[in-house]
Structure 1
Amino acid sequence: MKTVILCGGLGTRLSEETQLKPKPMVEIGGQPMLWHIMKIYERHGFNDFTLALGYKGGVIKDYLLNYHARLSDLTVHLKTGRVDYSNPTAEDWQVSLIDTGTNSMTGGRLLRLKSHLQSTGTFMLTYGDGVSDVDLTALLAFHRGHGKLATVTAVRPSARFGGLHIGGGRVLDFKEKPQSGEGWINGGFFVFEPGVFDYLADDATVLEQAPLETLAAEGQLMAYEHPGYWQCMDTVRDRDALQSAWDSGHAPWIKQVN
């Protein structure tokens, strides 16, 4: 099963870091946030990734193109240019890196992946700036059990993200970034059926607005309620909190990557 990670945003609220790199490449514990997210999925057996690139996507390409070499012993034949690799420690991942436009919105990025995804069936999707100890195996089982087009992982941090009104496991209403209120919010870690592409119009489509709002209104968006750990990286404060958690040796998402 393919896992999409949205990696193309500008990350303006973390400009101290993102002037030089895309937000998924901001490091926590010496590893890019992107690596942490992929390790969470790997722990549950998902190792086929599609990265929706945009702003400074070349940085991510360079990182992955050189990943195997950085984690291997090398013998370089200078005359021929041949390189022999030995003792590699790289993960067994397949990663597709697809340019989805510098200015595309979240739904637009997903729409640009339609030809890559529509024939593969159910797929997973998350943002390139958040980690969690969500049980992805249970999430997928929940999605397959209800038979709807979409599942969003609902989490309970501060109410500055997309608010969810849930009843009987079904998303009754979806509102992006409410100004006030408490309760479940959009934590990413989605599961989608290919039918979701019918709700996406163009590059300007914001996934968290009309598409998810319409899916909710039609009873096609379900919520997997995750009361455990979830943390995004929107600001320097968020980055520092994640780093502190890592430094403690007890970062909640680490148990997913042992």
Structure 2
Amino acid sequence: HVMRIFSAYGHNRFVLALGHMGDQVRRYFLEYEVMTRDTTIHLAGAESENGRSRLTFGGGYEHDPWEVTMVDTGLETGRAARLLQLEPYLGNGRFFVAYGEAVANINLRELEVFHTRHGKMATVTGIRFASQYGKIEADADGTITEFQEKPELPYWVNGGFMLFEPEFMTLIRQHYHENLMETDLMPDLMAAQNLMLYRHNGYWQSMKTLKDALKLKDDWQQNQPWKVW
């Protein structure tokens, strides 16, 4: 669904940084057509080319023209080093980065316009969401003065949809290839006033826990809030 969000805005070239369970991602895409179309297999016989079975597909089939490159970037590799391994496939222009663990009804066209206007090296999408716990405040003697059930957090959180200029890769290669992106590279970009925040006030939901997965399933069944395609 994350890829479909990008595709809805005309971005159909994907480079996936594979790590844990990367084989499952490869298998999904390699078997995608077989699993979604009517399939006839011609078992290999003497007349078969190269002695291999042949597949033919039938039935209706419509899909956006995706180009998916899958790169094994290791199990414990930091994000900056993962990005560096993807560089040969990124081309020479600006590029989006998504963590792949959250969906949103984000307008990527507006994000790109915002990025172009400010002219800085990097844009990070910020989101707001409610605390998973209630908030309680009390005075010195313990008398409760405020009681709120799961209030909205008073700060922005990295929503995992980012846009970078190509110079970002040069920066990683020269100075940060062994560093962590979030704790080293991004704070330095901020200090250089080269990092901007795009505020997304719409739907956003991650899928890190079983609770998250159940919420996403329920949200999708109700009104598909992140379906922008």
TM-score, normalised by the number of residues in structure 2: 0.81
Per-residue deviation, 1:71? 1.7
The code of the aligned residue for 1:60 comes to V
Indicate conservation of the 8 Å contact 1:100/1:109, yes or no: yes
Give 1:227's aligned residue.
201
SS for the counterpart of 1:191 is strand
> Aligned ranges for residues 74-223 of structure 1 at < 5 Å?
74-79=39-44, 80=48, 81-87=53-59, 88-117=61-90, 119-158=91-130, 182-200=154-172, 201-202=176-177, 204-223=178-197
SS in 2 for 1:50: strand
Gapped runs of 5+ residues in structure 1?
1-35, 161-180
Give the distance between the partners of 1:158 and 1:50, measured in 2 at CA.
32
Q: Which residue of 2 aligns with 1:54?
A: 19
Q: What whole-Å deviation, never above 9, does each CA across 1:184-213 have from its counterpart, x for those lacking one?
A: 1111110001111244323x5322111111
Instruction: Return the offset for 1:146.
Output: 1.2
1:55 corresponds to which letter in structure 2? H
Aligned-residue offset at 1:111: 1.7
Distance in 1 between the 2:30 and 2:158 partners? 32
Q: Which amino acid aligns with 2:7?
A: E
Answer whether contact 1:159 1:183 (CA < 8 A) is retained. Answer: no
Q: Is the 8 A contact 1:67 1:90 kept in 2?
A: no
Among the aligned pairs, what percent are the same residue?
A: 36
Point out the structure with max Rg over C-alpha: 2
The total of aligned residue pairs comes to 198
What are structure 2's unaligned runs of at least 5 residues?
133-152
Give the structure-1-normalised TM-score: 0.72
CA positional deviation for 1:75: 1.8
Cα gap change, 1:197 to 1:158, in 2 (>3 Å) = farther
Residue 61 of structure 1 deviates from its aligned partner by 0.2
2:100–2:160 contact (8 Å) kept in structure 1: no
Write the letter of the residue equivalent to 1:64: F
Rounded to whole Å, the distance in 1 between the matches of 2:93 and 2:158 is: 23
Superposition RMSD in Å: 1.7
Deviation at 1:159, TM superposition (A): 6.9
1: CA distance between counterparts of 2:39 and 2:62?
Answer: 12
- How far 1:231 moved relative to its partner? 0.8
Q: Write the distance in 1 (CA, Å) between the matches of 2:126 and 2:16.
A: 23
Corresponding residue of 2:148: none
